[in-house]
Chain A
Amino acid sequence: MTFYQKTNTLPSTSMNRLLIFMALALISGIGLSFGLHSMLVGHDHTFGTTREVPWGILISPYVFFACLSTGLCIVSSLGQVFGISTFRPLVPRTVFLALITMATGLMCITLELENPWRVGFYALLSPHQSSNIWWKTTIYSLYLIFMVLNFMSLTLKKEQRAKVFATIAFVAVTMGNLNMNSDMELLGARGFWSENYMPLYFLSLSTLTGCAAILLFSWIGKTFSGQRPETKDEMALKATGKLFMVLLLGILYFTGVKIMGGFFPQFTKNPEAMFLLVQGDFALNFWIGEVGLAVLLPLTLIFVTGGEKSNILALAGISCLTGVFVLFYDLVIVGQLIPHYQQYNIVDLPKYYSYSPSLHEIMITTGAIFFFLAAFILGEMLFKKIYDS
């Protein structure tokens, strides 16, 4: 009986990719199954959230992926909507990435809800026009539809139609991004994101992550296929690298404003939270994640190498994405940790509330990230020709 056959032809590149896709999809499935379990038994039993800290880590991947999708859409629009020819080679892959990142973000927020099945009914039957969440969810859902139509038009080589869908998606996602900020800012009752610079910070961060993702995933795509990048692709990546560097400098400025707020209360509306972030329990996250990984390391890599090498740009991209993920985690959690009645001299009231993500929350987050990676590999397998065209 033959159990195996010795061969020199396996594994082929496509076989490799298929195996990688299957491995990623399996990990994603395991992670997301924790989400289904939570949905069945209730979050009280599986999540680390409490009455005092009702939003946990799952809000972070939602905000992260939604902002990442916004950034990808903005960068793809430079080539597709605004007609800058340098960015055109990036458009198909970027549109696909924007599409799957938004799908991942919406999946995260769905698993974060206790009763997601009610959204379909009551978002339509009982909409609340004053609610930023309603607008944001509606806008992001419409955006996703338009991005799907955009990508379909690109695959069918209907350039003009794709441009129309891309324009609508671009306007929608910009509105969604502003609503995302307002949604959080409204929770000023808890000292959330109410700083004046936040809308610009959000858009800049989104575009920054979009650039970082393009640099990283274009490099992975090319490395996987084993092809040498064409000149026009290299030009596009270099242009993205330059945009990335400018945005990093912008974010460095905002990070400086945060540091000022952490050390000098007069510079912030949110002194307790900023102190906790910059000097308190979250200082490690802030200095290593938000300052080091998100800004300083990518900037150093680009300055040292001149921003010419695609593998260094990809490294800068992954460093930035990791740092920004930490940044969003901090942004969601830190504001909630300020006790409601801190000014009333309450006996036994902690200085800060506490929150730690549970195993279920971590697994769902991991599942979502691997879902995105699996979808990316699937895209590389299915749409390679479209990317190269």
Chain B
Amino acid sequence: MKGINLEKLNDEGVESLPSKERRQFLQFGLSISGVFLGGSLLSLTSAHEAQGALNSGKVPVAEFPYSPHYTMVIRQSHCIDCERCLEACRNTNNVPAHGYRTNILERSIPIAQGQRERAFMPILCNHCNHPPCVRVCPTQATYKDKTNGIVQMNPDKCIGCKTCMAACPYNARYFKEEARTIDKCNFCYDTKLKESGGKITACAAACPAGVRIFGDLTDPESEAYKLIHAPGNVLWVLRPETDTLPNVFYLDT
């Protein structure tokens, strides 16, 4: 088979290209790269920043601490799953049977070879300092209260896209069909908290075992403050990998 002898071929060079063709080619390349560069610059929340909201907290939605800065400490080992907190929450906040603002999960924790320990873990909205739900809401129907840091809902503004439900790492939201809005724990802001002068929530008041300790992170006299700052107490938060900076703390002792 006879191959092409490249060495004997003349170099055509780019000089032989018509200048119009060259200009068009350059123009095309520059336009494409320019527009796409513009697209990535103009994208107001680039992929990097979007990830930052969860992983490195680069997009805070508000300044903190608040005053008062409401918090809850949950003494997991005290919980006996009597569910009085759930009942109190339902009755106080008019929660329908198909939903819940707070729940108790049963854990089976491995402690040694072939041995497991049962524990009950109450869950509720963590009123995060970097709440993904607030970040994604297109109409500010859910927002971080600038006074006390509670993640609140304005039901009138909710369009029902349920993105906040998808974004919440704690499964703390549900759609309340009766009111056509997302419903969630607001530390009983408009019910028990108001009645008690900002001292206690319905679930904390109903708990017979002192599991749920509600308080103010900026008040040294608050029991929650003392538990959080007591030397030797090891506290943990749910799903720390999402970097939401929760305001609900768990204590095993």
Q: Are A and B associated in one complex?
A: yes
Could you tell me which A residues sit within 8 Å of B by CB distance? 42-45, 49, 51-52, 54-55, 81-84, 112-116, 118-119, 122-123, 126-135, 137, 170-171, 174-175, 177-179, 181-183, 185-190, 192, 194, 198-199, 336, 340-341, 344-349
Stretch from B159-167, B213-221, B223-231 forming part of the interface with A? B159-167
A134-B139 in contact (CB<8A): yes
Q: In angstroms, how far is the closest chain A Cβ from the Cβ of B26?
A: 12
Could you tell me which B residues sit within 8 Å of A by CB distance? 24, 27-28, 31-32, 35-36, 38-40, 42-47, 49-51, 53-55, 59, 61, 98-99, 105-110, 121, 123, 132, 135-141, 156-163, 165-171, 173-175, 177, 180-181, 238-239, 242, 244
- C-alpha spacing A127/B137, complex, angstroms: 9
A-B pairs with beta carbons under 8 Å apart, 8 shown = A51-B99, A127-B139, A132-B50, A133-B136, A340-B169, A344-B107, A346-B106, A349-B105
Contact of A171 among B24, B32, B39 (CB under 8 A): B39
- C-alpha spacing A336/B167, complex, angstroms: 10
- Chain A residues with Cβ under 8 A from B36's Cβ? 174
A131-B135 in contact (CB<8A): yes
Please name the residue on chain B nearest to A269 by beta carbon: B51
A135-B159 in contact (CB<8A): no
Given A114-B160, A341-B105, check contact A188 B54 (CB 8 Å).
Answer: yes
B167-A130 in contact (CB<8A): no
Given A170-B35, A348-B106, check contact A185 B51 (CB 8 Å).
Answer: yes
- Chain A residues with Cβ under 8 A from B239's Cβ? 189, 340-341
- C-alpha spacing A112/B139, complex, angstroms: 16
Given A51-B171, A181-B47, check contact A122 B157 (CB 8 Å).
Answer: yes
- Chain B residues with Cβ under 8 A from A131's Cβ? 135-138
Q: In angstroms, how far is the closest chain A Cβ from the Cβ of B12?
A: 23
Q: Is the interface of B mostly helix, strand, loop or mixed?
A: mixed
- Chain A residues with Cβ under 8 A from B27's Cβ? 82-83
- Chain B residues with Cβ under 8 A from A186's Cβ? 45, 50-51, 53-54, 132, 135-136, 167
- Chain B residues with Cβ under 8 A from A133's Cβ? 136-138, 161, 163
B54-A182 in contact (CB<8A): no
- Chain B residues with Cβ under 8 A from A82's Cβ? 27-28, 31-32
B168-A189 in contact (CB<8A): yes
Contact of B39 among A42, A81, A174 (CB under 8 A): A174
A346-B39 in contact (CB<8A): no
A190-B167 in contact (CB<8A): yes
B106-A44 in contact (CB<8A): no
- Chain B residues with Cβ under 8 A from A177's Cβ? 39
A54-B106 in contact (CB<8A): no
A188-B242 in contact (CB<8A): yes
A116-B159 in contact (CB<8A): yes
Given A181-B47, A185-B51, check contact A113 B35 (CB 8 Å).
Answer: no
A130-B59 in contact (CB<8A): yes
Q: In angstroms, how far is the closest chain A Cβ from the Cβ of B159?
A: 5
B159-A113 in contact (CB<8A): yes
Most chain B beta-carbon contacts within 10 A, residue among A118, A127, A186, A349: A186
Given A130-B45, A181-B47, A346-B106, check contact A119 B136 (CB 8 Å).
Answer: no
Query: Sorted from nearest, which 5 A-B pairs have the closest CB atoms?
Result: A114-B160, A189-B169, A174-B39, A122-B139, A134-B138
Given A54-B166, A55-B166, A115-B159, check contact A187 B45 (CB 8 Å).
Answer: no
- C-alpha spacing A115/B106, complex, angstroms: 35
B108-A187 in contact (CB<8A): no
- Chain B residues with Cβ under 8 A from A126's Cβ? 139-141, 157
- C-alpha spacing A182/B140, complex, angstroms: 18
Give the A-B contact count at a CB cut-off of 8 A.
195
Contact of B47 among A44, A114, A135, A199 (CB under 8 A): A199
- Chain B residues with Cβ under 8 A from A119's Cβ? 139, 159
- C-alpha spacing A341/B120, complex, angstroms: 13
Contact of A122 among B106, B141, B242 (CB under 8 A): B141
- C-alpha spacing A281/B19, complex, angstroms: 58
- C-alpha spacing A175/B40, complex, angstroms: 7
- C-alpha spacing A267/B216, complex, angstroms: 43
B109-A345 in contact (CB<8A): yes
Most chain A beta-carbon contacts within 10 A, residue among B123, B136, B138: B138
B139-A128 in contact (CB<8A): yes
B174-A185 in contact (CB<8A): no
- C-alpha spacing A189/B163, complex, angstroms: 12
- Chain A residues with Cβ under 8 A from B158's Cβ? 114-115, 118
Q: A130-B135, A132-B136, A174-B38 are in contact. List 15 more A-B contacts (CB 8 A).
A: A43-B160, A43-B177, A51-B171, A51-B175, A114-B162, A119-B139, A130-B59, A171-B38, A178-B40, A185-B50, A187-B163, A189-B167, A199-B47, A344-B238, A346-B107
Contact of B50 among A49, A182, A340, A341 (CB under 8 A): A182
- Chain A residues with Cβ under 8 A from B161's Cβ? 112-114, 133
- Chain B residues with Cβ under 8 A from A113's Cβ? 159-161
- Chain B residues with Cβ under 8 A from A135's Cβ? 44-45
- C-alpha spacing A42/B46, complex, angstroms: 34
- Chain A residues with Cβ under 8 A from B54's Cβ? 186, 188-189
- Chain B residues with Cβ under 8 A from A128's Cβ? 137-140
Please name the residue on chain A nearest to B43 by beta carbon: A178
A174-B35 in contact (CB<8A): yes
- Chain B residues with Cβ under 8 A from A137's Cβ? 138
Most chain B beta-carbon contacts within 10 A, residue among A112, A185, A198: A185
